[in-house]
Amino acid sequence: MEGIKLMNKKITNRINVFLFLLPALVLFLVILIIPIGLSGYYSLQEWNGIGAMKFVGIENYKKVFSDSVGLGPAIRNSIILAILSTFVQLPVSLGLALLLGKGIKGERIFLSVFFMPVLISTVVIGQLWLKIYYPEQGMLSVLLSGFKIGGKSIEDGIVSWINNMNAKLPIPKPPYKNVPWLGNQYTALACCFIPILWQYVGYHMLLLYAGVKSVPPELREAAKIDGATDGQINKYIVIPQIKPIIKICVIFAVTGSLKSFDLIYVLVAKPKVADVPSTVMYNEMFSANNYGTGSAIAVMLIVLCFVFAMIISAIFKKED
C-alpha cells in the first residue's frame, strides 16, 4: 500500500513537473531552440539568404575572423562593454538602490525619475545623443571647449591627440579642428558606450531596489541598535541578502553587452568604426547577404553568452 502510494506520488510529481514546465518549454522549443538549430545549419552553408545553399563545412567560422568581416575586434569591444557594465554601471545602480532603499526623503520620486530613461525609445535616446555628439555645436564639444587646463581646452587636447594618431596614417589626413565624436575610430566606441551604460542604470537600480526593500527591516534595526554604520549595514546585511538579484543583474548586463546593437547602430552606421558582434552579424546577414557567415557569428555569440552566463553563475555559487 505504502509503496503504491509512494509510486503514485512520484508519478503525480512527475506529471506536475511536466505540466508546470509545459508552457515555457513549448515557447522555448518553437521560437528559440528550432531557430538556433536552423542557424547552426545555415552556418555551415554558403547562402545569400534567398537562393540555393552550398555546404561549405566550417569555412564560415574561419571567415568570420578575417579582416573583411572582423569579428575579433568586435568581440573585444563587446567584452570591454561587458566589463564597464559590470564594474561601472552596476556599482552606480547598486549605490543608488542602497541609498534610496535605506529610505530618504523623496525616495519614490527619485526612483521614478531614475527609471524614466529606460522607458524612452532607443530612437529618441539615439537622436538625443547624436545631437550631444554633434561636432562643434553639440553639447559635448561646447562643454569640453569651455573647460581649460593650462590655457588649452579639453576638446583641443582631444583634437590634437586624434590628429597625432591620424598623422600615422599612410596618407596625410587634413587635421581636425573639432572632434567628430562618432566619426573616428578613437572616440566613437567610447561615445557609444556612455549612453548604453547610462540608459540602463535605472533598470538595474529598480531590480536591486526591489531586493533591498525585501531585506527584513528588523535586521536593519537590530544592526543599527548594535551601532553599525550605514556602510556596515549595507556590506554585511543588505548586499549578502540581495546576492541572487546581483547575480541576475550581472548576467543581464554581460549578456546584454555582448548582444548590444540598437544604439550603436543608430549612432555609428558605418562598419569598422565601432563594431560589436551584433552589428557585424547584421551587416553580414542583411547588407552583404552572407547569411551563412552571419549565422556562424550568431552561433558563436550564443556560445559566448552562454559560457559567460555559466561562469557568472559558478562564481556566485562558489561565493555561497
Partner 1 sequence: MDTNESINKISTVGKIVIYVVLGIWTIVNLFPIYWMFTFSLKGNDEIFGDNMMGLPRHWLWKNYASAMGTGNMPLYFLNSTIVAVATIAIVLIAALMATFAITRLVWKGREMMNRFFMLGLTIPIHSSLLPVFLILKKLKMLNSYQSLFIPYAAFSLAMGILICSGFMGDIPKDLDEAATIDGCGTWKTFFLIIVPLMKPAVSTVGIYTFLQCWNELMFANTFISTGKYRTLPVGIQALSGQHTTDWGPIGAALVIATFPTLLVYIFLSKRIQDSFIAGAVKG
Partner 2 sequence: MKMKKFASVLLAGAMVATMAGCTSDDTTTTTTTDTNTNTTTTTTDTNTTTTDGEKTNLTMWCIATESDSNRHSYEAAIADVTAAHPEINFTWEAFENESYKTKIKAAVAADEMPDIFFTWSCAFLGDFVDAGRVYCLDDAYAKVKDELPESMMGNSTYNGKHYGVPLTMNIVGLFANMDLLKSVGYDDIPGTYEDFIACCDALKAADIIPFGCAGKETWCVTEYLESVIEKSVGYEALNDIFLARASWANDDVAAAVDTFQSLVVNGYFDPNGDGLSNDEIKANFMAGKYAFYMNGTWNCADFAANEEFFPKVKVGEFPVINADKATLGQLIGGPSDTLAVAASSPNAAVAADFTFELGRLICKYGYLDGCGLPAWAVNYDDSEVNGLTKTVAAITAKANGYVLFGDTAMAADDADAYLKEVAMVYGCEVDGKTFVEDLAAAIR
* Binding positions for partner 1, 235-264, rule CB under 8 A: 244-245, 247-248, 251-252, 255, 259, 261
> Is 286 one of the binding residues for partner 2 (CB under 8 A)?
yes
Answer for which of 61, 133, 193, 203 binds partner 2 (CB under 8 A) is 133
Residues 163-192 binding partner 1 (CB under 8 A) are none
Beta strands 152-153 and 148-149: pairing type? Answer: antiparallel
| Dist CA 318 CA 263 (whole Å) | 35
Count CB-CB contacts under 10 A for residue 306: 11
> Is 73 one of the binding residues for partner 2 (CB under 8 A)?
no
Nearer to partner 1, 58 or 143 (CB): 143
Grid coordinates representing 100? 534610496
The window from 67-75, 82-90, 157-165, 294-302 that contacts partner 1 (CB under 8 A) reads 294-302
Are the beta carbons of 96 and 205 closer than 8 angstroms? yes
> Is 213 one of the binding residues for partner 2 (CB under 8 A)?
no
> Is 52 one of the binding residues for partner 2 (CB under 8 A)?
yes
> Is 308 one of the binding residues for partner 2 (CB under 8 A)?
no
> Is 21 one of the binding residues for partner 1 (CB under 8 A)?
yes
Count CB-CB contacts under 10 A for residue 142: 13
> Is 239 one of the binding residues for partner 2 (CB under 8 A)?
no
Taking the CA atoms of residue 198, residue 258, residue 294 and residue 60 in that order, the dihedral angle to the nearest 10 degrees is 150
> Is 161 one of the binding residues for partner 2 (CB under 8 A)?
no
> Is 129 one of the binding residues for partner 2 (CB under 8 A)?
no
| Dist CA 308 CA 55 (whole Å) | 30
Question: Residue 141: in which H helix or E strand, if any?
Answer: helix 139-146
| Dist CA 205 CA 92 (whole Å) | 8
Grid coordinates representing 241? 541578502
Nearer to partner 1, 93 or 187 (CB): 93
The window from 155-163, 173-181, 217-225, 232-240 that contacts partner 1 (CB under 8 A) reads 217-225
Q: What residue type is 6 in one-letter code?
A: L
**Interface with partner 2 (CB under 8 A):** 48-52, 68, 130, 133-136, 166, 169-178, 180-184, 188, 268-272, 283, 286-290
